[in-house]
Chains A and B, each alone.
Chain A
Amino acid sequence: MGEKLMCGKPRIFMFDLDGTVTAQETLPIIAKHFNVLDEINDLTRQTIEGRIPFVEGFIRRINVLKRFSVAGVNHALENIKLHKMLVDFINSYPSNCRIVTGNLDCWVASLLAHVSCAAETSKAVVHDDHLESVSSIINKADVVLKYQEVGYQVVFVGEGNNDAEAIRVADIGIAFGAVHWPSASVMQVASHAIFDEGELCRFLRQLL
C-alpha cells in the first residue's frame, strides 16, 4: 500500500463529517426540512462566532430539533451531497479510516451507510423514534489521543471550530476548506490546508 512510515507507525485517517465528507452541512438541511431554519442558523452563527461555547451551542440546537422524528431526520439527509472522491478514498481503505463527528449516531445512521469505515459520534438515547436524551458528546481530540496512545500516527481532516483541538494534536492536521473557509481556530493550528476535493484525495494518497 505504499512505503512504510519511517517511524514504523501505522497511519489512521480521521474525517469530520459535516462539510468534510458531506458537501453540505447537515443541521441546516434538517432544520429546513422541519421549518426551524432561522432558529438553527442563529444558534450556529453564535457558536461559530464564539459567542456561545461549542457544547452549549450543540445542546441548544439539539433541543430545537429533538422533537422531530429520528426516521424523519434520516430521511431529510438521504439525498445530501457527498464529496464522492473522498468517499471513494475512504471506501478503498476502510480499515485505515474513521469518521469522527459531533453529530448524533441516530441522526446520521443512514448517511454513514455510504462509508465503509467505522465512526465515532456523539450518542443519544432514542425511544419510539424520538430523542430522549443525549448520552455523550464527542471530544474529537480525545479520539485522536486514544489512537496515538496505541501507536498510530493520526491524520485529521476537518474545518469547524470543534475540529481545532483534534487538528492541533494530530500528527498531520488538515484544514479542508472545500465547503467553506475553515474556522480561524483551525487555520491557526493546522499543518496543512486544502480547498479542493481532488487535491485532498491526491495528498491523502501520498500519505498512504
Chain B
Amino acid sequence: MSIPKTVVIGCAGVGSRLGLGQTKALIDIHGKPIIQRQLEMLQDIEDVRIVVGFQASEVIKTVLAVRKNVTFVFNHDYFHSKTSASVYLASQNANEHIFTLDGDVIIHPEDMEECLQTAEPFVGVTSVSSEEAVLVETDLDKAIGFSREAGDYEWIGPALLPRDSIHFSPNLHLYEVIEPSLPLKCKVVRSMDIDTMQDYNLALQRFKEWGL
C-alpha cells in the first residue's frame, strides 16, 4: 500500500537548450504532451503540485484538460533560479515525503508505479546517457555520492525525499541540496530526460521500444 506523499512536477523552465521555444513539459511524445503522460500515471495520487514559470498559462491549460484537482505553484523567478528552488516552493506545507519529477522526463509506467509504491526515501537512477549528467556513485543498492565526473548511473530527477531535507537554496541544483541526505536507497528506473533535439529523438524511439 502506498503512503500518502506529495508529488511535485517541475515545469517552470524555459527549455532553451532544446530550442523548440517552449517549456519542455509541453513537448509532444507520440500524440500527448509529456505532462499529460506523467499525469496519467499519477491518477491515484491525491496531492499533485505542478511548478510553473515560463509559459505558465499554457502549462496550466494543458494540465487542466487532463486533471483539474492539482495545485499549481508559481516559481516567478524561474529564469534565475535552479531546479531546487521549484522543489522547495512546492514542498512547503506538503506531506512528509515528496516524490519529485522534472516535467521533461519520460518514465516507464511500471517503474513509475514501483516508485509510487515505495515508502522509503530513494533516488531513481538510470543508465548514463546525457552530456552533462549528474552521475551517481553507488554501493550495492545505495546512492552514496553525486558527481559530474564519475558514477555508475545518472540521476535525472525522480526521487522520494523527506520534505524537511529540502532547504531554500535557489542557486543550487537539487542534487546539491540533497547531497547531505546521502546515502539514500537507489532504484533503477527506465527513464530519460529531454534536454537536446538528440534526446528528444531518442525519447521518441525509446517510447516506442517500450511498447507504449
Report A's interface with B, CB cutoff 8 A.
Answer: 187-196, 198-199, 202-203, 206-207
Contacts and interface: CB of A to CB of B under 8 A. Distances in A.
A190 B74 contact: yes
Contacts of A189: 76
B27 to A, nearest CB: 22
Contacts of A195: 60, 64, 68
B164 to A, nearest CB: 9
Contact of A194 (B46, B72, B93, B94): B72
Contacts of B60: 193, 195
Among all A-B residue pairs, the 9 with the closest Cβ atoms:
A199-B69, A196-B68, A193-B72, A196-B69, A206-B93, A203-B71, A207-B93, A194-B71, A192-B73
Nearest to A200: B71
Contact of B76 (A188, A194, A199, A206): A188
Interface string B58-77: 00100010001111111010
A196 B72 CA distance: 11
B195 interface: no
A202 B64 CA distance: 17
B189 interface: no
B70 A199 contact: yes
Interface residues of B, number: 19
For A193, A194, A206, A207, which residue has the most chain B Cβ atoms within 10 angstroms? A193
Contacts of B74: 190-193
Contacts of B47: 202, 206
Given A206-B93, A206-B94, A207-B93, A192 B71 contact: yes
A202 B52 CA distance: 20
Interface string B65-100: 000111111101000000000000100011100000
B94 to A, nearest CB: 7
Given A202-B46, A202-B47, A187 B68 contact: no
A202 to B, nearest CB: 7
Nearest to A196: B68
Contacts of A188: 76
B71 A199 contact: yes
21 contacts: A187-B56, A187-B57, A188-B76, A189-B76, A191-B89, A192-B74, A193-B60, A193-B71, A193-B74, A195-B64, A195-B68, A196-B68, A196-B69, A196-B70, A198-B69, A199-B68, A199-B70, A202-B69, A203-B71, A206-B94, A207-B93
A191 B69 contact: no
Contacts of A191: 73-74, 89
A203 B52 CA distance: 17
Given A187-B56, A187-B57, A206-B93, A192 B72 contact: yes
